[in-house]
Structure formats: structure tokens, C-alpha cells
Amino acid sequence: MNTNRAEVATQGKGLRMRAISVIAVGAILALTLGAGTALADGNRDHRNAENTFTKHITEYPAMAGVVGGDVGAGTYTGEILNLAVTGTGLEIDAAYHFSGSIHSFTAMVHVVQTGFDNGSTAVITGRVSDGWLRGNSVMGEYTQIACSAGTCFQGTLDILRGSKD
């Protein structure tokens, strides 16, 4: 048996094992650093929370309806706190309560509705005052539509993640 040949084979095998070890350690280090970076922000979902609603006025100033989207299927209740008629539509301050199967929250909102008839649209701004994602800003819109309750308002109310004071 040639001992030089056995030594060369052993040295080659040792070098390959060290190379594989260095590559494995590098891969583990890269994965660890990546996970650390991902967890550094609390593993938050940065996508805005998108919620839908259809509501109607039950007995002024109370509102009722249904919700969906990220809160899950559920119910909507609300109260009109202040209503002003303008030359172009309405300005409304209200409390919106979303009680979904996944999440629930209350938002204090300011609504500017342009027009008075079906097809009129509104812009909604405000802040989550209680519940899921409390303290974050909300932004949305609705359209006035005809429904079995008479007049309904169908729209969205998105919670802007990361917008807390």
C-alpha cells in the first residue's frame, strides 16, 4: 500500500469537510441575521388593515350594518355625534364600531360627503380610539346607495398601520 496516496486522499477529504463546514456556518449565520432583522420590528404586518362596511341610519343618530375584510364578518354600529349641512353636502363627526369575527375596534371619524342623493360619495378620516390597532389613523370612503333599508352607505375604512402618535 502506498502511504503517500492515502495521505493525499485524507488531506483532500479534510479540505472538503472544512469547506462544507464553512459554507454551512455561513448559511446558518445568514439565516440567523435575516431572522433577527425580521424580528427587530416586532414581526409586524406593515400592510394596512382593510375593512369594509355597509351601514344605514336606524333611528337618528344611531347606525347599524355589517362589516368584513380584515376584521372578519361581523356587525357595524355607530353614532352620529355632529352633523352639519354644507352647500355641497354634509360634514359628519361619528363613532364607528366594527365588531368582526377576528378583530373589533372603535374609530372616531370625520366624514365629508359630497352630494345628497344615491351615488354621492364621502371621504372618511379619523383615528382608532379603542380596540384593535388603537391609536392608528383611519382613512376611507363610502358611496350612498339604495338598499332594502332605504338608503345605505357602502364603503371601506382602512387602518393605517404604523401611524400611531
pLDDT value of residue 3? 56
In a domain, 135, yes or no: yes
Helix/strand number for the chain, H first, E second? 1, 8
Secondary structure class of 139 (helix, strand, coil)? strand
* 32/67 same-domain check: no
Q: Give 22's contacts (C-beta < 8 A, 6+ positions apart).
A: none
Low-confidence stretches of the chain (pLDDT < 70) are: 1-46
pLDDT given at position 165? 74
Q: Are residues 119 and 82 in the same domain?
A: yes
Domain identity same for 130 and 112: yes
- Contact (Cβ atoms closer than 8 angstroms) between residue 61 and residue 77: no
> Which run of H or of E encompasses 151?
strand 150-160
Contact 152, 145 (CB under 8 A): yes
Residues 24 and 64 in one domain: no
Domain range for residue 35? 1-43
- Same-domain check for residues 24 and 89: no
What's the pLDDT at 13? Answer: 63
Task: Report pTM.
Answer: 0.73
pLDDT at 134: 97
Q: How many domains does the chain have?
A: 2
